[in-house]
Structure 1
């Protein structure tokens, strides 16, 4: 790593405390309850990016994207797939209160988009999409599909997009003090920032690991076998054929680390799964 850039980033983080706090306010928060899996990391959030504000932007972008997919004949083309996805999603939504009660009243929505991409996502506030490439190429069982959808829902529950945008703001405001050195521009439009973190920048490994763990618990509470997260990952990894992994896995931990962590936490939530199946 470039030493100058590394130093600049460290200064930027420190600049959050000295500069961003004064201009916009910032705080470390716990967005969700820890659950059985024990997700307890406190997150940095900028007060100037409220959940309601970000959800409003997300809802507008989602509506535009779905309109474009509909115009292209790519929205919910297979009724059986759509019904399957929505049935699983509704069972998962019924369990979100275990991590944050307010999420039960979010305007959750999911559509199936015809695309060869192996991907799925959930925007702030619960607007979701899954691509037919994931369904057709991975051929997931219902348990494995619950692991995918639960993982994406977890990103929204933990407000990972808001956290990433807050981190970008911290870096940009802090670096503006050093503009003669860095030349970094000021914060752009919130909509552009959301598009960037949702569809351009990868999630951090910390975010991906948290989403894995929460997704496993959501699935178990909904009556889906949490151990399917391991077999899902194996299918996803196999799809790469030894090359670059699918976008869905591009920032996940290594094979051995992720497999072991998923297996360990799947066993931890097995009592929840067994209770849900009674």
Structure 2
């Protein structure tokens, strides 16, 4: 059989595809960052060795301090003592339960602060660096149970290392682009600190990550003595904020109907934990 001579363009494309496949496979490991808990989170995650937990925690400390410094310079950090006390009290009760999912997290250097900003948002960086915006408190007006649902959800993201998982994907993509650049002559670069800032403040979480955080969050709340069913009313209220432009915290979340249905099922599953904690 006569061989067909392939064009240079075809050969470069084949080389690029092979190189990208090698990059995607290299340096990745299958891990499960948390124990399943009663709620049963058992998905295996793919993490890049280029993005270690320790490296990301160090970057998180720097980024968190930069964020606090910026808020402090504008007179926006912890301006309301009663709000701060409330958020920290609820957070501490939730943090006391994190060992159920990962025992090492009980030794994290947790920090909790409130930033005076109209944005309806809250987040928890790797290593337990939490911020709640007053826009969430003042606009949604959550009960303590509902605020526990928000905080439990954000803490779950950190426990599950969703930021590291997303940064791993970014770094792998960046490496692939670098390999492609060597073949095509274009340019690409990667930076772990930039990747963390992007996944925390730029890119929205995936629907899979949001579902995991929802389920783990209701279990944390229940174990801390907060009614897990409040997650249903909380996210219903959140969905009503902003009309056609929902808050940033809701970006790419599952549809309202599927999310509420899942939350109802999850909260019922962990309801005995709440009832036991309230005795």
TM over 0.5: yes
SS at match of 1:116: coil
**Whole-Å separation in 2 of the counterparts to 1:74 and 1:37:** 37
**8 A contact 2:20–2:179 mirrored in 1:** no
CA positional deviation for 1:15: 5.8
> Does structure 1 residue 186 correspond to structure 2 residue 196?
no
Partners of 1:16 and 1:222 lie apart in 2 by 45
Q: Residue 157 of structure 1 aligns with which residue? A: 159
Offset at residue 184 of structure 1 (A): 6.1
Partner of 1:135: 137
Q: Which residue of 1 aligns with 2:4?
A: none
Moved over 4 A (4+): 14-17, 180-184
Q: Are the aligned partners of 2:119 and 2:136 in contact in 1 as well (CA < 8 Å)?
A: yes
Residue of structure 1 equivalent to 2:121: 119
Per-residue deviation, 1:181: 6.2
C-alpha deviation, 1:174, in angstroms:
2.5
Aligned-partner Cα distance in 1 for 2:56–2:96: 23
CA distance 1:181–1:264, shift in 2 (3 Å): farther
| Structure 1 counterpart of 2:100, from 87, 98, 101 | 98
Distance 1:108 1:55, change over 3 A: same
1:15 to 1:210, Cα distance in 2 relative to 1, 3 A = farther
8 A Cα contact 1:29 1:45, kept in partner: yes
| Aligned counterparts, 1:3-22, within 5 A | 18-22=22-26
2:110 to 108, 117, 128: 108
SS state at 1:31 partner: coil
Measure, in 2, the Cα distance between the counterparts of 1:15 and 1:223: 51
Q: TM-score, normalised by structure 2?
A: 0.90
CA-based RMSD: 1.8
Superposed CA offset, 1:174-217 (max 9, x none): 33333356946132x21111101100000111111111111010
* Alignment of structure 1 residues 1-278 onto 2, 5 Å: 18-22=22-26, 25-179=27-181, 183=186, 185-187=188-190, 189-241=191-243, 243-278=244-279
Deviation at 1:36, TM superposition (A): 1.1
Structure 2: gaps of 5 or more residues: 1-12
Q: Alpha-carbon deviation of 1:17? A: 5.8
Relative distance call for 1:178 and 1:122 in structure 2 (3 A) is: same
Q: Structure 1 residues 15, 273: CA separation in 2 closer, same or farther (over 3 Å shift)?
A: farther
Work out the CA distance in 1 between the residues paired with 2:187 and 2:52.
Answer: 24
In our comparison, the structure showing a higher alpha carbon Rg is 2
How far did 1:240 drift? 2.7
Match of 2:5 in 1: none
Measured in 2, the distance between the counterparts of 1:214 and 1:100 equals 12
User: Please, what TM-score do these two structures have when normalized by structure 1?
Assistant: 0.90
The secondary structure found in structure 2 opposite 1:269 is helix
Structure 1, residues 8-46: CA drift from partner, whole Å, max 9, x if none? 9xx87x867622554xx2101100001111111111101
